[in-house]
Amino acid sequence: MTPAHVKTFFINLIDKMLYSHPGMPATDVHQHLWPEPLLDLLAARSDAPRLRRRGAGWELEVAGEPAAPFDPRAHDPAARAALAQADEVERILVAPSSPLGIEALPDAQPLLDAFHDGVAALGEPFFAWGSIALASPDPAAVDALLATGAAGLCLPAQALAGPRRLDRFRAVLERLAARRAPLFVHPGPAPDAGGEQAPAWWPAMTSYVADMQAAWLAWATWGRPAHPELKVVWAMLAGGAPLHAERLAARGGPAAAVLDERAWFDVSSYGPRAVDAMLRVVGVDRLVLGSDRPVADPPPLSSLGPAVRHAVAHVNPAAVLSR
C-alpha cells in the first residue's frame, strides 16, 4: 500500500460513513392505486365521481366525462407489487387520481383520508403522495400527512396555474419547503373530456398537457421566486414545457427557469425520443422514473442506456425524497 492508497482508503471510509446513500431503491414516483377503503366510498356515492355496478362489472362516473368501464383488478395491490418486481421497481409512490376531482369536492376529506389510510395500510413498497382539500389549504395538513409517512404533497396542475392560485397555497407550500418535503404536480382536476365524440385519450393529449404547461409557466414566473427552496416533481415532463424554453426566451419569458436544481420531471407516458430531448434541455439529473400505472406502462428507456436508468430510477428519486 502506497501512502496514496492509504489516504484513499480513509477517504472512501469517511465517504461511506458520511455521504453514502445505501437507500437508493429503484423508485416509480407516479402510480395510481385506489385502496379498498376508497373504492368502498366511491361505490357509496350518489354523485360523480363514483363507482356504479353495471351488469357483472363496474363503471366509473367522472363529472364531464362519459361513464367508463372500471376494472377493480387494475387496483389490486398484490398484482401491482408483482408488476413492480417485473419492472425492477422497489418503491412505488402512489398519487391521488387528481382528474377525479376528489380534492375539489366540498366533502373531500373522508375520501382523502380513505386514500391516505388505505395506501399506508398496504405497507411497502407503497407510499402515498398526500393530498389536501383544495377549498381550505391548511399548512397543518402538511404536517399531518408527513406524520403518516406521505412522501410529500400532490396538487393538481390547475390549482397552481396562476399567481392568485399559487397565492392560495402559499402557506402550504412554505410548510412543505420548511419540512424539506417535495411537491408533486399532477394534471387535474376535472379534465375537459372533449365532448361525446372524443376518444378516451383526448384529455391526456389536450387539457392535461395545457394544464401542466400553464402550471410550470406559473411556477417559473411566480412560484419559484416565492418558494426558492421547495423541491417540485412535475408529472409527464411538465407537459413538455421546458422543451419550449427557446420560444419562452423569444417572447421575453423566464427561460432560465428550465435550469432548476430543485425541479424534477417524471417521464410518464413518454418514450426515448421525448425523454432524450428533455435530457438535452434539463440534464439527466432532473429526470425521474414515473409510469402512471395502471393508466400506462413504464416508458421503454433501455435505448438510453443503463446509466440513464440508474440516474432516473435510483439516484434522482433519492434526491427528491431526501429530507
Partner 1 sequence: MSHDLSEAELEVLVRDVATDPERWRHLVVHRQDERTYVELQRDDHVAVWLICWMDDHDTGYHDHDLSAGAVAVAAGAVREERLVLGGAPAARTAAAGESFTFGPADIHRVSHAGAEPAITVHAYSPPLWRMGAYEVLPTGELRRWSLSYAEELRPIGA
Whole-number minimum distance, CB 263 to partner 1, in Å?
13
Q: Which stretch binds partner 1 (CB under 8 A): 33-41, 172-180, 182-190, 300-308?
A: 300-308
Nearest in space to 282 (alpha carbons), one of 301, 268, 300, 267: 267
SS3 50: strand
Give dist(CA 301, CA 180) in Å, integer.
30
Q: How far is the CB of 255 from partner 1 (least distance, A)?
A: 8
| Binder of partner 1 out of 19, 47, 147, 228 (CB under 8 A) | 19
241 binds partner 1 (CB under 8 A): no
* 273 touches partner 1 (CB under 8 A): no
DSSP letters, 90-135, are -EEEEPP-GGG-GGGSTTHHHHHHHHHHHHHHH-TTEEEEE---TT
**Which of 6, 13, 15, 167 forms a contact with partner 1 (CB under 8 A)?**
15
Would you count residue 148 as binding partner 1 (CB under 8 A)? no
The span from the CA of 157 to the CA of 215, in Å, is: 5
Least CB distance to partner 1 at residue 91 (A):
18
Interface residue with partner 1 among 42, 119, 204, 279 (CB under 8 A) is 279
Question: Which residue among 68, 135, 178, 259 contacts partner 1 (CB under 8 A)?
Answer: 259
Residue of 120, 144, 285, 295 interacting with partner 1 (CB under 8 A): 285
User: Which amino acid makes up residue 10?
Assistant: F
**What strands lie across the sheet with 263-266, from one edge to the other?**
27-31, 91-94, 126-130, 152-156, 183-186, 232-234, 263-266, 287-288
178 binds partner 1 (CB under 8 A): no
- Count of residues binding partner 1 (CB under 8 A)? 26
Task: Give yes or no for a contact between 323 and 180, defined as CB atoms under 8 angstroms apart.
Answer: yes
Which of 6, 8, 66, 135 touches partner 1 by CB under 8 A?
8
The span of 48-56, 201-209, 222-230, 299-307 binding partner 1 (CB under 8 A) equals: 299-307
Closest CA to 101 of 190, 5, 225, 7: 190
> Applying CB under 8 A, does 310 fall inside the site for partner 1?
yes
Comparing CB distances to partner 1, the nearer of 76 and 285 is: 285
In sequence order, what are the residues at sequence separation of 6 or more whose Cβ sits closer than 8 angstroms to the Cβ of residue 319?
A: 264, 285
Closest approach, Cβ 197 to partner 1, in A, equals 41
Q: Shortest gap between Cβ of 320 and partner 1 (angstroms)?
A: 16
Which of 98, 203, 228 is CA-nearest to residue 158? 98
Strand duo 152-156 + 126-130: pairing: parallel
Q: Smallest distance, Å, CB 240 to partner 1? A: 17
Distance CA 290, CA 312 (A): 9
> CB of residue 81 vs partner 1: minimum separation in angstroms?
25
- In the complex, least distance from residue 15 CB atom to partner 1, rounded to whole angstroms: 5
Please pick, from the candidates 42, 193, 311, 319, the single residue that binds partner 1 as defined by CB under 8 A. Answer: 311
Q: Are 267 and 287 in contact (CB under 8 A)?
A: yes
CB neighbour burial string for 164-178, b if at least 16 within 10 angstroms, e if fewer: ebbebbeebbbbbbe
Our CB check for partner 1 shows the closer of 106 and 306 to be: 306
**Interaction site with partner 1 (CB under 8 A):** 2, 4-5, 7-8, 11-12, 15, 19, 245, 256, 259, 276, 279-280, 283-285, 304-308, 310-311, 315
